[in-house]
Structure 1
Amino acid sequence: MNKELLKEMCSVYSPSGNEAAIRDFIMQEIKDYVDEINVDPLGNLIARKKGNGKKIMFAGHMDQIGLMVTFIDKEGFLRFTNVGGLSPSITMSQRVIFSNGVVGVVGCEKLDDIKDLKLDKLFIDIGAQSKEEAEEMVSIGDVCVYYSEALIDDKKVISQGLDDRVGCFVLIEALKQIKNSLNDLYFVFTVQEEVGIRGAKTSAYTINPDYGIAVDVTMTGDTPNAKKMAVKLGEGAAIKIRDNSLLCHPKVKDTMIKVAKDSDIKYQLEVLEFGGTDSGAIHLTRSGVPSGVISIPTRYIHSNCEMCYLSDISAAIDLSVKLSQTDFDN
């Protein structure tokens, strides 16, 4: 596994609506492995590997959650709103970084009760001593993301932005392994998933695929007193059955399970009672697209220290490669 590539991808600034940097990075990484590559009007990166079989769309989203500046007070502190799902308790005391390299810390007003902790009680401190000084560093509408180094050892990766940088990594590594394609493959690196699976909606409309497969992270049920869920780190790629955006199509789900079994790829089944992925938009495109999801089990999602096992990532890569060469109609 190319750990250095994964580590480098995790460090690229890419909040929803500002995916240009990671899109350019991915384009350079895959351009020699595809027949066509383009960027659509919304910013999705669409890479095609031609084949004579069914049109299959794989999707991983490039964007990550962020914090958008809404107000700068006279002392130079920044108020913000969320771009995607932010937890106040996780966000408090985090380091954040803007696209221009400005680094700040998320502080909190004095609270009489921790139960009163909400995003509107938090602020970003960039070290400015006045509104004027702060305005020389950032502007209203600027977006920052959690700032932490990706750590990878022989077993796991810990980083901010694994949702869904790891899904993009899976697609890149799968694409490099596919030599001659049975199916007509579209590898789509989508924008604005964290704010309403928007990029998948427009790109799927353009491609009009026969089948859709999203590659994204999912929650686990393997930490102390976690919500009961039959997904664990180290048990392989998770084949989704449902989430709040999708009831996976039986043909796609069953094909994924059969391919995993026949290829001795370690897998587990996922029932997620909340959240969604790009397949939530893909399956509703035009007259409907049978869709499914390959999930990478991840702890501490939407934090600065999301955690995956390398073995599960490898399983997701292997399953993606095999599915790309599968006849879903037989």
Structure 2
Amino acid sequence: MRNLNLDLLKRIVATYSPSGNETRVCELIKEEVKDYADEVYTDPLGNLIVRKKGQGKKVLLAGHMDQIGLMVTYIDDKGFIRFTNVGGISPAVTFSQRVIFENGTIGVVGCEKIDSLKDLTLDKLFIDIGASSKEEAEEKISIGDICVYYSEVIMDDKNIIAPALDDRIGCFIMIEILKSLKASENDIYFVFTVQEEVGTRGAKTAGYAIEPDIAISYDVTATGDTPKSKPMAVKLGDGPAVKIKDNSILCHPKVKNLMIEQAEKNSIPYQLEVLEFGGTDSGAIHLTRAGVPSGVLSIPSRYIHSDCEMVSLIDVSNAVELSLRILEEEI
């Protein structure tokens, strides 16, 4: 396994940056990559674009910086907070979670009395920050503020468990690629996108502006390796997954085959992924301008969109290795 910067990985996944407010993780990444790139800038929507110049084809690599969250919609007279979702929030996962706001305020998600878990919906939930009145709550929290799941990052020599691995793990992989890339004829744009969780919005504008010849996104994907899970030919630890399809894209054969060929040529383990739901930044990028041949290299993850997403470090290492082999080729 590669010598990954695991301290950086911990810091990235622990950084507060929900959709629409990705500033903190953007600044962290910018500081980390500035000495390895020829050009670093943010576009009007907030995407961080890091360019490694080359004379060949334009290659766009994308991973999204944002994470799902809960947005405050109402504060009642007793200081309890109602919220709406920012991205894909499950009521069952959210109930009893700790959450943290941008200013460091921590709360717990509680629930009204319900007769059955079948009645558990987001509008039955509330956030308790320990306030005893609306006025006290409003000293810390305002309408429109966003909180995210608050949980300790756990890591051993095999796996990492943390919130926001969707998709800070993709961002981390791109940083590792940039730092390790020795030479490439390709003109490579590492794009750390915003607002993926609310509709791949950053990818749309970045793809349009850069107009790449080819695009690869890095994101998590589901697995089929837990008890009685939905059958799926993806397992934790069996290698990064070359996407074939999800709800946003049928991956271009050129890109899919390029990944497979380099994996087999360099004896890098990989899996094939058919995801029957969801989407990634490539779903937006491949439809920009006249169209962009696009694919996705996915990282198998258990418990996506929870506070305990689980990823195998060997899959991360192999994703970096495969990407380097791809980029060393003249595309």
TM-score, normalising length: structure 2:
0.98
1:317 aligns to what SS in structure 2?
A: helix
Partner of 1:221: 224
Q: In the alignment, which of 10, 23, 27 is matched to residue 24 of structure 1? A: 27
1:244: how far off? 0.3
Aligned ranges 1:87-166 → 2 under 5 Å? 87-166=90-169
Partner of 1:6: 9
1:294: how far off? 0.5
Distance 2:266 2:143 in 1: 52
Q: In the alignment, which of 62, 71, 74 is matched to residue 71 of structure 1? A: 74
Partner of 1:241: 244
1:16 aligns to what SS in structure 2?
A: coil
Aligned ranges 1:1-330 → 2 under 5 Å? 1-328=4-331
Contact (CA 8 Å) 2:286, 2:294: kept in 1 or not? yes
Distance 1:187 1:29 in 2: 13
Query: Which contiguous aligned blocks of 4+ residues in structure 1 show a shift greater than 6 angstroms?
Result: none
Contact (CA 8 Å) 2:241, 2:272: kept in 1 or not? yes
1:149: how far off? 1.2
Runs of 5+ in structure 2 lacking a partner?
none
Contact (CA 8 Å) 2:184, 2:330: kept in 1 or not? no
1:180: how far off? 2.2
1:296 aligns to what SS in structure 2?
A: strand
Distance 1:46 1:92 in 2: 36
Distance 1:267 1:213 in 2: 16
1:298 aligns to what SS in structure 2?
A: strand
Distance 2:269 2:318 in 1: 6
Count of residue correspondences = 328
1:182: how far off? 1.5
Distance 1:114 1:48 in 2: 49
TM-score, normalising length: structure 1:
0.99
Aligned sequence identity (%): 67
1:265: how far off? 1.1
1:327: how far off? 2.7
2:173 aligns to what SS in structure 1?
A: helix
> Aligned-residue CA RMSD in angstroms?
0.6
2:302 aligns to what SS in structure 1?
A: coil
What is the CA deviation profile of residues 89-115 of structure 1, one whole-angstrom value per residue up to 9, with x for unaligned ones?
Answer: 000000000000000000000001110
Distance 2:145 2:106 in 1: 13
Amino acid aligned to 1:195: V
